[in-house]
Amino acid sequence: MLLIDEATKTGETTSEGKKYIRGDEWFLDGHFPGNPVVPGVILCEMMAQSSAVIIAEVSAKSTPYFTGIDKAKFRNKVLPGDTFEIQCELIKSRGAFYFIKGKGYVDGKLCCSAEFSFALVERE
């Protein structure tokens, strides 16, 4: 379930992503009737997907599984017609675990932020 339109590695430990919210996305159905707002859990998944390019080289033969979401904060709504712009940064890595900070913006206004952890599990 790819939720972003683009993701680019911008540095050794950073990435950016974008999602153009059209208004016909499945996750807007019923959230909320007559007042569509992108759910916070979807915004977190978009940020996590945008961060995947940071660890793409080390995860080529592995699957990155979520192990945690910390310090998630939601400040402004993301609505149909918005362009959700994401910035991610690798905070640290320890063995198979990677810790990433993400922030999501619309028109330069911070909408959400969170810290994610992933474990890279080798594919069989």
Catalytic residue check, 6: no
77 closest CA partner among 110, 118, 99: 110
Per residue in 34-46, pLDDT tens?
A: 999 999 999 999 9
What is the dotted CATH code of the domain comprising 6-122? 3.10.129.10
Q: Which helix (H) or strand (E) holds 84?
A: strand 83-94
To the question of pTM greater than 0.85 for the whole model, the response is yes
- Domain range annotation of the chain: 6-122
pLDDT tier at 49, thresholds 50, 70, 90: very high
Find the catalytic residue in 22, 31, 73, 75: 31
Residue 96 pLDDT > 90: yes
User: Does the N-terminal peptide bond of residue 32 adopt cis geometry, omega within 30 degrees of 0?
Assistant: yes
In this prediction, residue 58 carries a pLDDT of: 86
In this prediction, residue 60 carries a pLDDT of: 83
